[in-house]
A and B are shown apart, each in its own frame.
Chain A
C-alpha cells in the first residue's frame, strides 16, 4: 500500500515569490492534515480536512496561506507571497478519520532566501 506522497521534496525560492505544495493521501483516508515543522520542534497543525471540507484552519495564516482539497483526495497548500520566516518543513498526513492513527508523508523542505 502506498503511503502519503508529497511533492516537491525540496523547494528554494526568493522572498515574495509564490510556492505550492502537493499532497496525495493514503487511499480511503478521509482526514488530511497539513503541518509546519520548524527545526528542533514538533509539527504544528496548519489545517485539517474532513473529505473536502476544511474543518480546522484556525492556525493557518490566511493573509498569505491558502489550501484546497478538491474532490476530497489530493490537496494543495499555497503560500503567496513567501516570507523569510516561512522556511520550514511542510508535512502532510492522513488518517481514516479524525482521532485515528495518522500517517505522514516525507515533507517538503522550503527555503526562502
Chain B
C-alpha cells in the first residue's frame, strides 16, 4: 500500500525566504506526482505535475523535483510571499495512474 509522508507538518518563515517542502512515498513504482495548494475552506489548486520520467518541473517561483529511486519529491518556493500561505499537498499516482494517494500536507505561513 502506497504511503505518502510530508515533512514538516507546519512551517513559518519570514517573507522573502526561499524554502523547501518535502514529500516521501514508500512505493517507487509511481506513474506521476502532483503538487497542490489548499487555502482554508477551499478546494485544491494544482501547482505542478511531474511525470515519472521527469526529474523536475518549474512554474514561476515554484520548482518541484522528483527522485523516484529514493521515493522523494521536493517543492522549492523562491522568494516567499504572504500570499503563499496555505497548505501544500503532494499526491502520488500509482497503479498505472488509477489511484492518487495524498500526503497530509505542510501548512505554510509566510509572515511579513
Pick from A6, A42, A93: contact of B104, CB below 8 A. Answer: A42
In contact, B98 and A48 (Cβ under 8 angstroms): yes
Asked whether B100 lies within 8 Å of A103 as measured between CB atoms, the reply is no
Is A78 among interface residues, defined by CB-CB distance under 8 A?
Answer: no
Write the chain B residue with the least CB distance to A58: B99
Nearest residue, chain B, Cβ from A93: B44
Residues of B within 8 Å of A, CB-based: how many? 24
What is the CA–CA distance of A109 and B41 in the complex, to the nearest angstrom?
A: 8
Q: How far is the CA of A33 from the CA of B89 in the complex (A)?
A: 17
Please, which residues of chain B bring their CB within 8 A of the CB of A55? Answer: 98
Which residues 73-101 of B sit at the A interface, judged by CB distance below 8 A? 89, 91, 93, 96-100
Contact with A along B5-49 (1 / 0, CB 8 A): 000000000000000000000000001101010000111111001
A21, chain B: closest CB distance, angstroms: 13
Contact-size category for A: 20 to 34
Residue of A nearest to B105 (CB): A42
Q: How far is the CA of A45 from the CA of B91 in the complex (A)?
A: 12
Closest chain A CB from B3 CB (angstroms): 11
Query: How far is A104 from B43 in the complex, measured between Cα atoms in Å?
Result: 6
A48 to B101, CA, bound (A): 13
CB pair A98 B97 closer than 8 Å: yes
- The interface bits of chain A over 37-76 (1 if a CB of B lies within 8 angstroms of the residue's CB, else 0) are 0001111110010000001100000000000000000000
A42–B4 Cα distance when bound, in Å, is 10
The distance from the CB of B1 to the nearest CB of chain A, in whole angstroms, is 12
Partner of A101, one of B49, B102, B105: B49
Q: Find the A residue at minimum CB distance from B90.
A: A42
Q: Which of B41, B42, B97, B99 contacts A45 (CB 8 A)?
A: B99
The reply to whether A56 and B44 contact each other, CB–CB distance below 8 Å, is no
| Neighbour of B43 across the interface among A56, A99, A100, A107, CB < 8 A | A107
Can you report 11 A-B residue pairs in the complex whose CB atoms are below 8 A from each other? A42-B89, A42-B103, A42-B105, A55-B98, A98-B97, A100-B97, A101-B34, A104-B45, A104-B46, A105-B43, A107-B42
Chain A interface (Cβ within 8 Å of chain B)?
A: 4, 6, 33, 40-45, 48, 55-56, 91, 93, 98-107, 109
